[in-house]
Amino acid sequence: METQKRTPWRRWIVLVLMIAGWILAGIFTPIRPEITVAAEKLSYEPLFELPVIGPFYLVNTLPTLALTIILLVVIAFAANRSLTKSQKTDLVPTGIGNAMEAILEMLYNLTESSAGVKWAKAIFPWFATIMIYVLFANLLKLIPGFESIGLIKEAHGEGGHAVEALGGGWSMLTSEEGHYVLYPFLRGISVDLNFTLSLAVISFVMIQVIGVRAQGLAYFSKFFNTKRMFKVPFFGAMDFLVGLLEIISEFAKILSFTFRLFGNMFAGVVLVAVVASLLGNISILAAMVMMFELFVGLIQAFVFGMLTMVFMAMATQGHGDEEHADH
């Protein structure tokens, strides 16, 4: 039996990329970027004024938000076109239509196994939308150019860098001390508290909506349980106090959703920036950190979506006395 000779061409590609990274890092010395919690302002003047919030500036997470939405719309359009074409031919989806059908079918089966057949159709759109959107938001910032191409502005404190002209109106920061910092055009939206807080509020509100749809006004009995207050005063008072704890626990979901996603993704930004600036020419280790960031982005999207789906499934179930009454 003949054995086919394997050509290790992948190893040569990795070796060539390592050498190219070493040479480019020697020419363009990596510097540690300016790390800020708040999104950087790309405009000096506000775009418009809001009555309660105040001035609204163009920050570098807004272009990323628009780009994410555009990409999702394009992918949805391509998938719909592929599925429509397959329905007219052999009913076998191919390409992006096949991939999206497999992903959505897997997510729907996961929702059905956790929430049950009755409420799967109501919960699935929110679970799938949040998970896919957060996944795109997390992975989009791994594209080269994100958080590295932007406007060079004067620093308002210590830690600035010098500027070197490249020609054609382009410049770059150098490792020498100076008075300038980079405000990138595109910044990952998962490291913006406004984005994570908005998703957390949407998730929180829809959990309550699903709970009311499933149980009616009886859903709020777990927050204000006064049924045994006068029959059994001691245990009735305990039930009322437990309901107050349930209210605190329910609102704590907003903080949990917000800071879990923001904290993990912001920690990844800091880790990549520090490792890349410390290693200098050794670019392969920085690439390995980016692979770890890819894994974290995937896990965080799955966790955010799964928690939303699980809490929605729990909201459809009876609570306390209602469950015992059903039995």
The per-residue pLDDT for range 95-145, each reduced to its tens digit, is 888 888 888 899 999 999 988 888 899 999 999 999 999 998 888 887 877
Q: What is the pTM of this model?
A: 0.81
First to last CA, the chain: 67
Looking at every residue in the chain, the average pLDDT score rounds to 81
Question: Which DSSP string corresponds to 26-60?
Answer: HHS---PPP--SSPPBS-SS-SEEETTTEEE--BT
DSSP character for 222? Answer: G
CA distance 235 to 229: 7
CA distance 17 to 327: 65
**49-89, pLDDT tens digit by residue?**
888 778 888 888 888 899 999 999 999 999 888 888 887 77
Among the listed ranges 213-222, 232-241, 263-272, 301-310, which one has the minimum average pLDDT value? Answer: 232-241
CA distance 184 to 296: 22
